[in-house]
């Protein structure tokens, strides 16, 4: 197999403040105090709950395509801006993304088709996962009670608009342009048993420019995705840490 070239760097753009409320760390801010983002070779036994004070949060990142969002998260971890580690990359099939993940030294599991609850819970237990992160994963993931509030997704539009089955990739941006919208963006949300209906966590906006095509709009939205997902993950881990601290 020919080597897959690394993705070129994308320079994030800014268009106003994030659309969600709440104190989120601005891009480029120093990392919050807390555990190191260096992967732990011997994590504590999995108990069914996150343990954010004992170690970096362990992520299972699910992909279906080229892995751009995965590599963005990995870069934030490497730079010390996200107190987490990618414990496993789960793919719906072999792709450029799985090769890039392996080239980066990540553990990769390929699960074709829709994953059932038993296999998902087994994967979470084996890899001691704290948070499931969907990063361009196109399959509908079952959400057992143990995973409620611990699985997130990013959608390339401002939910609740332009959502549901089939609304992914260029289909979303074509719909935004057809609707004549002047603003688009991306949404980070919790996962539930349907596509794109979980509670919204964080949004970022960008303009729709005259003469935009689905490709140019997609590139502008993705610049916001590069910022929005790390911001939302940072806030989620900080909130979980605060709740855990208050409960002890």
- Please state the domain extents for the chain: 55-147, 154-188+199-248
Q: Where are the alpha helices (DSSP H) in the chain?
A: 68-78, 96-103, 117-127, 170-178, 214-247
Average pLDDT, the chain: 82
User: Quick one: average pLDDT of 158-187?
Assistant: 96
Whether 173 is catalytic: no
Alpha-carbon distance values, 180 to 176, 177, 209, 212, 222 (Å):
7, 5, 10, 11, 19
243 pLDDT band (50/70/90 cuts)? low
pLDDT-based confidence at residue 3 (cuts at 50, 70, 90) = low
Answer yes or no: is pLDDT of 4 > 90. no
Strands, E, within 38-147: which ranges? 57-63, 84-91, 108-110, 131-134
Domain 55-147 and domain 154-188+199-248 have a common topology: yes
Could you give the CA distance from residue 70 to residue 75 in angstroms, rounded to a whole number? Answer: 9
> Residues of the chain with pLDDT > 70: what percent?
75
pLDDT at 242: 59
pLDDT exceeds cutoff 90 at 57: yes
Over its C-alpha atoms, the chain yields an Rg (Å, rounded) of: 17
Q: Please give the CATH superfamily to which domain 55-147 belongs.
A: Formyl transferase, N-terminal domain (3.40.50.170)
Q: Is the pLDDT of residue 12 over 50?
A: no
Report the pLDDT value the prediction gives residue 239, as an integer from 0 to 100. 81
Arch. (CATH architecture) of 154-188+199-248: 3-Layer(aba) Sandwich (3.40)
Of 155, 173, 189, 202, the active-site residue reads 155
Instruction: Name the 3-class secondary structure at 109.
Output: strand
Angle (nearest 5°) at CA 61 between 205 and 202:
25
**Out of 12-26, 87-101, 203-217, which region has the weakest mean confidence (pLDDT)?**
12-26
**Choice among 2-6, 8-12, 59-63 with the minimum mean pLDDT:** 8-12
Of 14 and 201, the one with more pLDDT: 201
At 234 the three-state DSSP class reads: helix
Cα 155 from Cα 161, distance rounded (Å): 10
Peptide bond into 160 cis (omega under 30): yes
Q: Is residue 215 predicted with pLDDT exceeding 70? A: yes
For residue range 76-133, list pLDDT tens digits in order.
999 999 999 999 999 999 999 999 999 999 999 999 989 999 999 999 999 999 999 9
Q: What is the pLDDT of residues 96-110, one digit of tens each?
A: 999 999 999 999 999
pLDDT tens for 20-48 read 433 333 334 443 333 332 233 333 333 33
Q: What number is the average pLDDT over the span 200-229?
A: 98
User: Which pLDDT does position 41 carry in this prediction?
Assistant: 33
Distance CA 116, CA 94 (A): 19
């Amino acid at each position: 197999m020919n080597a897959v070239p690394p993705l070129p760097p994308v320079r994030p753009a800014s268009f106003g403040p994030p659309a969600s409320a709440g104190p989120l760390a601005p891009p480029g801010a120093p990392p919050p105090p807390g555990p190191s983002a260096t992967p732990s070779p011997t994590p504590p036994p999995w108990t069914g709950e996150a343990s954010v004070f004992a170690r970096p949060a362990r992520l299972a990142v699910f992909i279906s395509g080229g892995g751009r969002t995965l590599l963005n998260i990995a870069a934030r971890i490497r730079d010390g801006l996200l107190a987490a580690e990618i414990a496993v990359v789960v793919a719906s099939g072999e792709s450029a993304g799985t090769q890039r993940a392996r080239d980066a030294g990540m553990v990769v599991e390929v699960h074709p088709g829709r994953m059932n609850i038993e296999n998902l819970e087994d994967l979470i237990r084996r890899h001691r996962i704290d948070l499931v992160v969907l990063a361009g994963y196109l399959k509908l993931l079952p959400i057992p009670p143990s995973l409620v509030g611990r699985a997130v997704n990013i959608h390339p539009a401002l939910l609740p608009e332009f959502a549901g089955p089939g609304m992914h990739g260029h289909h979303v941006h074509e719909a935004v342009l057809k609707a004549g919208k002047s603003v688009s963006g991306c949404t980070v949300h919790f996962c539930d048993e349907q596509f794109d209906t979980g509670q919204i966590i964080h949004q970022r906006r960008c303009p729709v420019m005259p003469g935009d095509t689905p490709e140019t709009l997609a590139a502008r939205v993705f610049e916001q995705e590069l910022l929005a997902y790390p911001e939302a993950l940072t806030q989620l881990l900080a909130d979980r840490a605060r709740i855990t601290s208050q409960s002890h």
